[in-house]
Amino acid sequence: MDAAAGVGELSLPPVASCDGEALPAVRARRLARLYYYVGFFALPWFWVCSCWYFFPDFRHGHDPVVAKYTRRSALGFVVYTCLFLPWFLLYLIAGEKVLGQSAYNALDINSLDLSGTGLGVG
What letter does residue 22 receive in the DSSP assignment?
E
pLDDT of residue 121: 59
Cα gap 5→78, rounded to integer Å: 35
Centre a 10 Å sphere on the Cβ of residue 12 and count the other Cβ atoms it contains. Answer: 14
pTM for this model (two decimals): 0.71
Cα gap 113→120, rounded to integer Å: 7
Alpha carbon 79 to its chain centroid, in Å, reads 11
pLDDT of residue 1: 44
The ranges of the chain with pLDDT < 50 are 1-5
Cα gap 27→33, rounded to integer Å: 10
CB-CB contact of 36 with 50 (8 Å): yes
pLDDT tens for each residue of 6-34: 555 668 888 888 888 889 999 999 999 99
